[in-house]
A and B are shown apart, each in its own frame.
Chain A
Amino acid sequence: MIDTSDIRKNLKVEIDGYPWIVVDFQFVKPGKGQAFTRTKFKNLITGNVIERTYKSGEKLEEAAIEEHEMAFLYSQGNNYHFMNNQTYDQVEMSEDQVGDAKYFLTENMKVEVMYFKERPIGIELPNFVELQIVHTEPAVKGDTVSGATKTAEVSTGFKLQVPVFLSNEEWIVIDTRDGAYVERVKR
């Protein structure tokens, strides 16, 4: 069991038979009163978001989620295929299950596939991935304002803001948690 003081972002709990992940939480305490943790959860299967208020000291049940490292093979239509490189087991997940991770998946990328009650329910990406820019406008000459950015599209079709000095075919590191540019890499 988990105590309210252990609540943190990305904690996975089971409520009403479903696995949920903590997306946000807040300590609240009315004057001269009991303390609470107001918690926002996302359902790992349906994507529903709910908010619950827990009295300090209340217990939550940890979700029994197993994670297995798998490699992304390919996508076909709305289906995404992964393989366990140890057992050669393959799983197929829908676009909904993969969620925003689809913007960062490249062939053979190692991801964690989450299983809840022996069913694959989603994937967890590494925090940082390297992707190649496939399209961005050339920098405008003389635009030397520090911190100036422009839009770039990477090989997965994802678009983000990058510094103006970057050009087509360069590789960059992206933070998969917020989709933000981190740095340029030489390959």
Chain B
Amino acid sequence: MTTGGAGHFFPENFLETLTARHKILHAIREYFDTAHYLEVETPIMVLSPGIDPYIDAIHAGTGFFLSPSPELQMKRLLTIGGVPCIYQITHAFRENERGYQHNPEFTILEWYHSKKDYVDIMQEAEQLIYYLLHDAGLTLPAKEKYTFPFLRISVDAIFRNRAGWEPSCQWDEDRFFLDWVEKIEPYLKSVGGVFVTDFPAPLASLSRLKEDNPLLCERFELFLRGIEVANAYTELIDPVEQTQRFKNSQGKRKIMGKESYEIDTKFITALQHGIPECAGAAMGIDRLIMALLGIDDISKVQTFPFDRL
């Protein structure tokens, strides 16, 4: 796999990129601190990597994994009374992901807010990007490329327009992802900022299904110039349904011949004891920096991408 030839040398004008990266990270913290979020830390080494059919974890010694996402631990923190909203900037790790938008180790921002849903989080994500582009005192080259408010379009609508079918009622997973990379992604590149919302239920992952239409879930992804920058949900907090989803994912991994992961029982116990209604988002910081600086290769915004180690 290629990451665009990172090689031994640092990219041209790398100090500018590093300086911008430093300022963007600082501004993100400023944004959340001002909004009274509590910054937290969760471990990089975990016992259960969560169970997603298409996310492979990296082993870190006997019984441990490098965390592919801090999601499960962060939601458990919400069970502490009086913690309404938390955020963290950390590193996440995923096996076999290398390309212009992927590196096995990457920087991730996650934030969770109790008593909110995915529409609130969408607004918050939009405000954060607006803040970074206009109010944080940064001079970002891609500033002019984004107009606010961002477009909001449902998965069904985008597929109807670009691929001629509606995934939620004619579910076909292989067709969905192939059309996504061949028809949807090229379109997303042509728009500045867009929220793609309401994914089909089979792609709900850890999100809540919509009450008025259980074929859809309360999940969105944010794209900036076609770069998938964030994924967010109204969080599923039902322990029975969550256990069933994990089991389904285990089944799918088995069919694909992939390594099986244990269910994180402490996370399920936390759900049983009651995680508050909440919503949250995960944002890829390397990709955000790419989108804000107009850089098209992740290896040009990370100090030591895989190929430069």
The residues of A with any CB-CB pair to B shorter than 8 Å are 5, 8, 25-36, 38, 53, 55
Contacts of A55 in B (CB 8 A): 174, 177-178
Asked whether A27 lies within 8 Å of B102 as measured between CB atoms, the reply is yes
Q: Which segment, of B40-48, B92-100, B161-169, B261-269, faces chain A?
A: B92-100
Asked whether B97 lies within 8 Å of A33 as measured between CB atoms, the reply is no
Asked whether B205 lies within 8 Å of A30 as measured between CB atoms, the reply is no
Given contacts A27-B2, A53-B181, contact A32 B231 (CB under 8 A): yes
In whole angstroms, what is the CA distance A53 to B174 when docked?
12
In whole angstroms, what is the CA distance A27 to B101 when docked?
8
Asked whether B180 lies within 8 Å of A30 as measured between CB atoms, the reply is yes
Chain A residue at smallest Cβ distance from B176: A33
In whole angstroms, what is the CA distance A5 to B55 when docked?
16
The residues of B with any CB-CB pair to A shorter than 8 Å are 1-2, 52, 54-55, 96-102, 173-174, 176-178, 180-182, 185, 203, 205, 221, 228, 231
Asked whether A53 lies within 8 Å of B178 as measured between CB atoms, the reply is yes
Asked whether B178 lies within 8 Å of A32 as measured between CB atoms, the reply is no
Given contacts A5-B1, A26-B99, A53-B182, contact A31 B221 (CB under 8 A): yes
A-B contact pairs, 14 of them (CB 8 A): A5-B96, A27-B2, A28-B99, A29-B99, A31-B231, A32-B52, A32-B55, A32-B203, A32-B205, A32-B231, A33-B180, A36-B178, A38-B181, A53-B181
In whole angstroms, what is the CA distance A66 to B241 when docked?
57
Asked whether B2 lies within 8 Å of A25 as measured between CB atoms, the reply is yes
Asked whether B1 lies within 8 Å of A29 as measured between CB atoms, the reply is no
Contacts of B54 in A (CB 8 A): 29, 32-35
In whole angstroms, what is the CA distance A27 to B203 when docked?
21
In whole angstroms, what is the CA distance A113 to B266 when docked?
64
In whole angstroms, what is the CA distance A85 to B177 when docked?
52
In whole angstroms, what is the CA distance A29 to B103 when docked?
12
In whole angstroms, what is the CA distance A36 to B52 when docked?
17
In whole angstroms, what is the CA distance A81 to B104 when docked?
49
Chain B residue at smallest Cβ distance from A34: B177
Asked whether B185 lies within 8 Å of A30 as measured between CB atoms, the reply is yes
Contacts of A38 in B (CB 8 A): 181
Contacts of A29 in B (CB 8 A): 54, 97, 99, 102
Given contacts A35-B54, A53-B182, contact A30 B177 (CB under 8 A): yes
Contacts of B99 in A (CB 8 A): 26-29
In whole angstroms, what is the CA distance A155 to B173 when docked?
57
Contacts of A5 in B (CB 8 A): 1, 96
Chain B proximity of A69: nearest CB distance (Å): 30
Given contacts A38-B181, A53-B178, A53-B181, contact A31 B228 (CB under 8 A): yes
Chain A proximity of B103: nearest CB distance (Å): 11
In whole angstroms, what is the CA distance A6 to B203 when docked?
29
Chain A proximity of B34: nearest CB distance (Å): 28
Chain B proximity of A59: nearest CB distance (Å): 15
Chain B residue at smallest Cβ distance from A25: B2
Given contacts A27-B97, A31-B231, contact A36 B181 (CB under 8 A): yes
Interface pairs A-B: 3 shortest CB-CB? A27-B99, A34-B177, A33-B177
In whole angstroms, what is the CA distance A27 to B2 when docked?
8
Asked whether B181 lies within 8 Å of A28 as measured between CB atoms, the reply is yes
Contacts of A33 in B (CB 8 A): 54, 176-177, 180, 203
In whole angstroms, what is the CA distance A40 to B185 when docked?
17
